[in-house]
Amino acid sequence: MITSKANYHHYLERDKVALRIKSNSAITKLTTTLFPNSIWKFQKTMRKLEYYSNCKNRGLGKLYIYYLKYKFRKISIKLGFSIPINVFGPGLCIVHYGTIVINRNAKVGSNCRIHACVNIGASGGNRGAPQIGDNVYIAPGAKIYGNITIANNIAIGANAVVNKSFDQENIVIGGIPAKQIGEVDIKNIIKHI
- Identify the domain containing residue 24 by its residue range: 5-80
> Which CATH number do you get for residue 149?
2.160.10.10
Q: Is 85 a domain residue?
A: no
Q: Is 62 a domain residue?
A: yes
Verify that 103 and 33 share a domain, yes or no. Answer: no
Question: How many structural domains are present in the chain?
Answer: 2
Look over the chain and give the mean of its residue pLDDT values, rounded to a whole number. 92
Bridge partner residues of 107 (DSSP):
131
Return the CA Rg of the chain.
Answer: 17
**Whether the predicted model's global pTM rises above the 0.85 cut:** yes
pLDDT digits (tens), the chain, 193 positions: 899 999 999 999 999 999 998 776 677 677 777 778 899 999 999 999 999 999 988 888 788 999 999 999 999 999 999 999 999 999 999 999 999 999 999 999 999 999 999 999 998 888 899 999 999 999 999 999 999 999 999 999 999 999 999 999 999 999 999 999 999 999 999 988 7
Q: Is 15 a domain residue?
A: yes
Residues 6 or more apart whose Cβ sits within 8 Å of residue 126: 146, 147
Residues 6 or more apart whose Cβ sits within 8 Å of residue 137: 112, 113, 154, 155, 156, 186, 189, 190
Alpha carbon distances (Å) from 40 to 13, 98, 104, 173: 11, 14, 21, 28
* Rounded CA separation 167/98 (Å): 29
The last residue of one of the domains, among 80, 103, 126, is: 80
Verify that 178 and 148 share a domain, yes or no. Answer: yes
Q: Is 105 a domain residue?
A: yes
Q: Is 193 a domain residue?
A: no
